[in-house]
Chain A
Amino acid sequence: MEIISNSLAGLGIWSLTFKNMVMWLIAFTLMHLAIKKGVEPLLLVPISFGIFAANFPLTGLTSEGGLFYIFYHYGIETELIPPLIFLGLGAMTDFGPVIANPKTLILGAAAQLGVYAAFFTALLIGFSIPEAATIGIIGGADGPTTIYLSANLAPHLMGAVSVAAYSYMALVPIIIPPIAKLLTTKKERALVMTQMRPVSKGEKIVFPLLASIVIILLVPPSAPLIAMFMLGNLFMESGVVERLTNVSRNELMNIVTILLGVGVGSTMSAENFLNPKTIYIFILGVVAFSFATAGGVVIAKLMNLFTKNKVNPLIGAAGVSAVPMAARVVHVIGAEANPQNYLLMHAMGPNVAGVIGTAVAAGAFILSIK
C-alpha cells in the first residue's frame, strides 16, 4: 500500500501548476505559428517543443545534469552553438553583391541604428544596461547573434529575446513596407540601379580574409561569430573543400539548430517568462525593427547626396538582416513603384552586410559592458 502511495505521490500531475499550463499554451501558440503559418519553423518548432517539455514538473530536464541543461550549458552558455550556426550561414552566403558594391556595407551599418534606438528605449523603461543591450540586438534581426549576446550579458532574457527576434524576423514583410514607403517618394522607390559588375573568384576568396582582419582587429569580441562566418564562406568560395562546405551548411547546421532551439526553449520556465519584462521585450522588438528599417533608408538617402552612382534608398531597409526575406520585401516594394525595377541582388548587399553589422554591434556591446 505504501509503495502504491509513494508511486502516486511521485506522479508529475500533482505538481503541475497553472503557470506550467500557461507556458504550454505559449508553446502550442508558437507551434501553431511555425507549423500552420510557416513562421521560422526550423527554429520555432524545436524552441516551442523545448518550452513544452521544460514545463513538465519533476522531469529534471532543466536541472543540473538534465538533458536540456546539458544542451543549454554546453551548447549555449559556453557560446559554442551560435558560432557554429554562423559557420553554416557563411557556407551559404554569397558576398558577391557586397563586393560588387561595397558601399552597401555602410547600409548594413546604418540598419544597426535600430539596435541603439531599442537600447535607449529599454533603458528608459528600466532595464539594466546588459539587459537593454540584449534587447536592442533584436533589431539586428539575427537569431544566433541575439542568443550569443544574451548568453554573454543577460541569460535570463534569452528565451524572450530569442522568440521575439525570430517572430519579428517572420514579420519583416509587415514591418518594412510602411516604414520604407513613409520615408521615400515614389520617384525614389522607382530608381533603377546600374547593373552590378561581375565579381571574380579571387575577390570572393579574399573577402572573408579581409573582413576578418578589419572587423576582428577593431572589435575582438566579435571574433567567434565573424571568424566562423568567414571560415564557412571561405569553405564555399575556395571550391576545394566541398565536403566541409556541405557538412557546414547541411548536417552540422541542422544538428546545432536542434540543440539551439531546444536549449533556448528550455530556458523559458514560467518564472523566467511570465512577467511584465517579456511584454516590454516584444514591444521593444518592434521599436528595434522599425528604427533599423528607418536607419537604413535614411542613410541610403544621405549617401545619395554625396555619391555619383545613386542607390535606390529602399535597399537600405534590407540592412535589417533577416536574410533573404528583407531583400525580397525590398524588391517587391521597388517593383510596385516601377515594374522594370529589379532590386533583389542590389538589396542582398545591405542584407548580408547587416549580418556582419549585427555581429559587430554584439561584439561592441560585449567589449564595453562585460
Chain B
Amino acid sequence: MGMDWEKALIVAATGIVSVFLALGILNLAVSFSGYLFRLAEKRRAEKSQPGT
C-alpha cells in the first residue's frame, strides 16, 4: 500500500504550527502577565514610599 504523503505533510505541518503557535502565544501571554505583575509591584512600592 502506498504512503499517503499528502496526509503525512498535513499531519507534520499541523503539528509544527500548533507547537510553535501554542508556545509562541504562551510566551507572549507570560511576558505580558509578567509586565503587569512588575507594574503592579512598582505602583505598590511607589505608594508605600512616605511623602510621595
A and B part of one assembly: yes
Q: Which A residues are within 8 Å of any B CB, using their own CB?
A: 98-100, 102-103, 105-106, 108-109, 112-113, 115-116, 119-120, 123, 126, 129, 132-133, 199-200, 202-203, 206-207, 210-211, 213-215, 218-219, 353, 356-357, 360-361, 363-365, 367-369
* Interface size range of chain B in the complex: 20 to 34
**Docked-complex contact B15 and A105, CB < 8 angstroms:** no
In the assembled complex, how far is the CB of residue A224 from the closest CB belonging to chain B, in whole angstroms? 16
A sample of 15 more A-B contacts (CB under 8 A), given A102-B27, A363-B18, is A102-B28, A105-B27, A109-B19, A112-B16, A116-B16, A120-B8, A123-B5, A206-B37, A207-B33, A211-B26, A214-B26, A215-B22, A356-B23, A367-B18, A369-B11
Taking a contact as CB atoms under 8 Å apart, the answer to whether B19 and A106 are in contact is no
Min Cβ gap B1→A in Å is 9
Given contacts A102-B31, A132-B8, contact A108 B23 (CB under 8 A): yes
Task: Provide the residues of chain A in CB contact with B23, threshold 8 Å.
Answer: 105-106, 108-109, 353, 356-357, 360
Residues of B contacting A105 with CB < 8 Å? 23-24, 26-27, 30
Residues of chain B lying within 8 A (CB to CB) of residue A123: 3, 5, 8
A–B complex contacts, Cβ < 8 Å, 6 sampled: A106-B27, A129-B7, A206-B33, A207-B33, A365-B15, A367-B14
Contacts of B26 in A (CB 8 A): 102, 105, 210-211, 214-215, 356
Query: Across the interface, which residues of A come within 8 angstroms of B21, CB to CB?
Result: 218
Q: Is the CB of B30 within 8 A of A200?
A: no
Picked from A109, A202, A368, the residue with its CB within 8 Å of the CB of B24 is A109
On whether the beta carbons of A214 and B29 are closer than 8 Å, the reply is yes
B24-49, CB under 8 A of A: which get 1 and which 0? 11111111011001000100000000
**Nearest CB on B from A306, distance (A):** 13
Quick one: given A102-B27, A210-B30, A211-B26, are A133 and B11 in contact (CB under 8 Å)?
yes
In the complex, what distance in Å separates the CA atom of A279 from the CA atom of B5?
Answer: 24
| Bound-state Cα–Cα, A206 to B40, Å | 14
Interface core residue of A98, A115, A365, A368 (most chain B CB under 10 Å) = A368
Q: Which A residue's beta carbon lies closest to that of B24?
A: A106
Report the minimum CB–CB distance from A296 to chain B (whole Å).
12
- B4 nearest CB neighbor, chain A only: A129
State whether A129 touches B27 (Cβ < 8 A): no
B-chain residues with CB within 8 Å of residue A106 when the two chains form the complex? 20, 23-24, 27
> B35 CB to closest chain A CB, in angstroms?
10
Residue of A nearest to B25 (CB): A214
Chain B residues with CB under 8 Å of A116's CB are: 12, 15-16
Report chain A residues within 8 Å CB of B37. Answer: 200, 202-203, 206
Distance A199 CA – B16 CA, assembled complex (angstroms): 30
Minimal beta-carbon separation of A295 from chain B (angstroms): 10
Please give, as numbers and ranges, the residues of chain A lying within 8 Å of B24 by CB-CB distance: 105-106, 109
Q: A106-B24, A203-B34 are in contact. Are A120 and B12 (CB under 8 A)?
A: yes
CA–CA, A75 and B30, complex, Å: 34
Q: Is the CB of A368 within 8 A of B33?
A: no
In the complex, how many angstroms separate the beta carbon of B25 from the nearest chain A beta carbon?
5
Q: Nearest chain B CB to A337's CB is how many angstroms away?
A: 27
B27 and A219 within 8 A (CB): no
Contact of B30 among A102, A357, A369 (CB under 8 A): A102
**Residue in B3, B4, B27, B28 with the greatest tally of chain A CB atoms within 10 Å:** B27
Q: State whether B14 touches A364 (Cβ < 8 A).
A: yes
- Indicate which residue in B3, B7, B19 contacts A112 across the interface (CB closer than 8 Å): B19
Q: 8 closest pairs, A vs B, by CB? A: A364-B18, A109-B23, A102-B30, A364-B15, A105-B23, A368-B14, A105-B27, A102-B27
Q: Which residues of A contact B8 (CB under 8 A)?
A: 119-120, 123, 129, 132
Residue of B nearest to A211 (CB): B26
**Assembled-state Cα–Cα distance A127/B26 (Å):** 33
Q: Name A116's closest neighbour in chain B (CB-CB).
A: B12
